[in-house]
Amino acid sequence: MTVMTETSALLRLPRELRDDIYEKIFRSTRLSYGRRIIIVEDQDIIRDIRPAPNSLAILRTCHQINAETRGAWIGRVTFNFENKREALVKLTALPTKILSQIRHVCVIECTPYAFDLDEHSDETFPLSTLISHIPGLRLDTLTIVRDSMTESLDFFADYIKHGCGWRELRCVMSSTLCLLDPSRHGRGKETGQDIGHRTAKIIATECKTSVAIFQAHDTSVRGSIMHPAGRELLNTDALNSISDELLNEQGDAISAESLWNREVLLVARRRSSVDITVSPCGEAPPFPSRSSRPIRFSEYKGARALEELLAMYQIDSYVHPEAAAIEAPVEIDTYRDIHDFIWPQNSYNRLLPEEYVAESLQKKAEEDSYNNTYRDSEMLYE
């Protein structure tokens, strides 16, 4: 007796329609990894985030669908990492052939803890430098979620100047305060034109990169800025309005919670003619080494070698050493949209505007003192 098998409705569709369906499925799929720490009422809630077991279930439905999607999914799904360390470990463990097929990466760089190279140094590694040392990256989009109100646009300029391996960079900031320059405290109000000039300086670091600044419409829905309908482009007039609401005439920050808690999206896009595999300002800075020979990240390709490098320099982000030693329960990543994310409730979320300015000024004073000391020591050897 012959057994009749019914053909799948999906497989009865033309190949072009099937490809469109595969595209929509993978574009809406997120694979998340890493340790997530949320501080609620001074209590750490720690979870090891993993993707759902059925995230790529369509690949296992039948041989034909597997053959049609085998080489397509990796360039369409979004790889989401809860901290820098997890991103580095996972990405560098991949063969270059596979790594070069990944197109969308998101990294949660919210860090309530400092990370230093060693106990004798105040130097840190920004993610822009770390990623620049990973060979083979050819991302269409790199999304950085950063929960900090103590930094201005300077960190964004660092990504543009030293970063490579991406076509479009998206930096999500938790507050409009990130647009203001804390060094102007007490020296008069910063206008939208001033902010525009600082933005122009960023663009000047690489003439083939366009930069845009967006602000979220709604402060109650965190992450809404990632959706085009939930944000607006900020021009000079809009930046003037922000400055008026956030600063008094002396340049001091005042309470304006309607803007203070409003997310900001900074977008930088390389032109199609730009080679994204190299840094715009030449080769990315090497890692400092305790030996005379600089360390290149490409020499540490592979998970085990990378772990040795991270341990040697105590490079960490987000995971405090004590928290890293805790065995945390595994939590399956749940989301309605691939751009959904959770802001860690760290100490910066609880800062008042006046405290923000005070901390920013203290940080700048410490940096100036360090730079002056460094210059004085250099002069001794001239």
More confident residue, 188 or 220: 220
Residue closest to 11 by CA, chosen among 3, 24, 19? 19
- Asked which of 54-58, 223-227, 259-263 is least confident by mean pLDDT, the reply is 259-263
Backbone dihedral region for residue 223 (phi beyond 0: left; psi -120 to 50: alpha; all else: beta): left
More confident residue, 278 or 147: 278
Q: Identify the pLDDT of residue 21.
A: 95
Q: Identify the pLDDT of residue 86.
A: 84
DSSP string, 44-97: EEEEEEE--TTTTGGGGS-HHHHHHHTTTGGGTSEEEESSHHHHHHHHHTS-HH
Q: Do the bridges between strand 104-108 and strand 209-216 make them parallel or antiparallel, or are there none, so unpaired? A: unpaired
Among 19-33, 198-212, 229-243, top mean pLDDT goes to 19-33
* Inter-residue contact 166 to 347 (CB < 8 Å): no
Percent of the chain with pLDDT over 90: 18
More confident residue, 223 or 32: 32
What's the rounded Cα separation, in Å, for the pair 157 and 26? Answer: 32
Find the helix packing angle between 303-313 and 84-92, rounded to 10°.
150
What's the rounded Cα separation, in Å, for the pair 177 and 349? Answer: 12
Q: Identify the pLDDT of residue 149.
A: 56
Examine the pLDDT at 79 and tell me if it is beyond 70: yes
More confident residue, 368 or 169: 169
Examine the pLDDT at 181 and tell me if it is beyond 90: no
Is 171 within the bounds of a domain? yes
- Asked which of 152-156, 242-246, 286-290 is least confident by mean pLDDT, the reply is 286-290
Task: Classify 367 as helix, strand or coil.
Answer: helix
More confident residue, 264 or 364: 264
Q: Do the bridges between strand 43-50 and strand 104-108 make them parallel or antiparallel, or are there none, so unpaired? A: unpaired
Is 286 within the bounds of a domain? yes
Q: How confident is the model at residue 237 (pLDDT cuts 50, 70, 90)?
A: low
Is 381 within the bounds of a domain? no
Q: How confident is the model at residue 207 (pLDDT cuts 50, 70, 90)?
A: low
Examine the pLDDT at 380 and tell me if it is beyond 50: no
What's the rounded Cα separation, in Å, for the pair 312 and 124? Answer: 13
pLDDT, tens only, 282-336: 555 555 444 444 444 444 455 555 555 555 544 444 444 445 556 778 889 988 8
More confident residue, 86 or 130: 86
- Mean pLDDT (the chain) is 70
Among 145-159, 175-189, 354-368, top mean pLDDT goes to 145-159
Examine the pLDDT at 228 and tell me if it is beyond 50: yes
Q: Identify the pLDDT of residue 351.
A: 41
Is 128 within the bounds of a domain? yes
Q: How confident is the model at residue 372 (pLDDT cuts 50, 70, 90)?
A: low
Residue 319 belongs to domain spanning:
12-370
Is 276 within the bounds of a domain? yes
Examine the pLDDT at 109 and tell me if it is beyond 50: yes
Q: Identify the pLDDT of residue 90.
A: 86
Is 379 within the bounds of a domain? no
Is 375 within the bounds of a domain? no
Q: Identify the pLDDT of residue 326.
A: 62
Question: Given the structure tokens 């008094």, which residue do they identify?
Answer: 248
Is 52 within the bounds of a domain? yes
Number of domains in the chain: 1
Examine the pLDDT at 340 and tell me if it is beyond 70: yes
